Amino acid sequence: MEKILVGLKRVVDYNVRVRVRSDGNGIETDGVKMSINPFDEIALEEALRIKERGEASEVIVVSIGSADAQQQLRTGLAMGADRAILVNSDTAPDPLTTAKTLLALIEKEGIDLVILGKQAIDEDNNQTGQMLAAIWGRPQATFASEIEFSGESARVTREVDAGLEVIEVDMPAVVTCDLRLNEPRYVKLPDIMKAKKKPLDEIAMADLDVQPESTVSAISFEPPAEREKGVMLDDVAGLVVALKDKGLL
């Protein structure tokens, strides 16, 4: 296996409390810490481990969005990726546009394996990996918690509702990662300095013959309703009465 492509999405850091803008037209991002989507970070860590085992020769990270995404790509380079590609887009692409963009890069770069996070924590669509596999015409292994390679195939342990499922897919393939696949490495200062010298290419989406389009639009945003305060009860009888008053019994 020669090249692994890993998608990195810029999202609000998972430790930050998400706030809706006052006009209700989106999420507040001004002055908010942005990071790599946690599932994508796991995907990159797995790609790097595969390379370190000698099972791949190059790891390429890609992000689609504004110039601000260079920060996340540089973090990916600091973790150990060899190259980074930023596909410039004025608007956040939907999953299908993202899949089409990744396919164009696959064909351009000659990618052998695509590893993605199973979903992004901002919209939770869980669609890009599946769509990419469909339009690429290659096998997919989603929700991976373990990946092993043997010849021209990969043995993937998947986390499913009933427990674990083990499947084997022929390469090239698309794999999406679950939380228990690995623990991403800590980025050290020397690695951050070295990452500044690694190549980061910028490509316009139009140069990949991809037309941004979306079949879904967000009409409005609103925060979830506040939870009611907890109530301390003296005994089980009081609990039964309280539940009856709420119509739960």
CA 8, CA 28: separation in Å to the nearest integer?
21
What pLDDT sits at residue 212? 80
Enter the pTM of the model. Answer: 0.86
What pLDDT sits at residue 215? 76
Phi and psi torsions of 135, nearest 5° = -75, -20
What pLDDT sits at residue 76? 96
CA atoms within 13 A on the CB side of 147: 33
What pLDDT sits at residue 233? 87
Q: CB neighbours of 178 closer than 8 A, spacing ≥ 6?
A: 39, 42, 118, 143, 144, 145, 158, 159
Phi and psi torsions of 180, nearest 5° = -85, 10
How would you label 115-147 residue by residue, b for 16+ Cβ within 10 Å and e otherwise? bbbbbbbeeeebbbbbbbbeebebbbbbbbebb
What pLDDT sits at residue 171? 95
What pLDDT sits at residue 164? 93
For residue 238, give the CATH number of its domain. 3.40.50.620
Residue 86: strand pairing partners: 63, 202
Using CA atoms in the order 104, 106, 110, 111, what is the torsion angle rounded to 10 degrees? 180
Closest Cα to residue 81, out of 43, 44, 52, 46? 44
What pLDDT sits at residue 5? 97
Report yes or no: 97 and 131 within 8 Å, Cβ to Cβ.
Answer: no
**Number of domains forming the structure of the chain:** 1
Report yes or no: 56 and 50 within 8 Å, Cβ to Cβ.
Answer: yes
Q: What is the DSSP string of 43-98?
A: HHHHHHHHHHTTS-SEEEEEEEESGGGHHHHHHHHHHT-SEEEEEE-SSPPPHHHH
Q: CB neighbours of 242 closer than 8 A, spacing ≥ 6?
A: 231, 233
H or E stretch at 189: helix 189-195
Full domain range(s) for residue 92: 3-245
What pLDDT sits at residue 113? 97
What pLDDT sits at residue 248? 84
Residue 169: how many CB atoms within 10 A of its CB? 17
Q: Over pLDDT 70: what percentage of the chain?
A: 100
Both tokens assigned to 78: 């600091």
Q: Show pLDDT as tens, one digit a residue, over the chain (249 residues).
A: 899 999 999 999 999 988 888 887 888 888 899 999 999 999 999 999 999 999 999 999 999 999 999 999 999 999 999 999 999 988 888 999 999 999 999 999 999 999 999 999 988 999 999 999 999 999 999 999 999 999 899 999 999 988 999 999 999 999 999 999 999 999 999 999 999 899 999 999 989 999 887 777 888 888 888 888 888 888 999 899 988 988 888
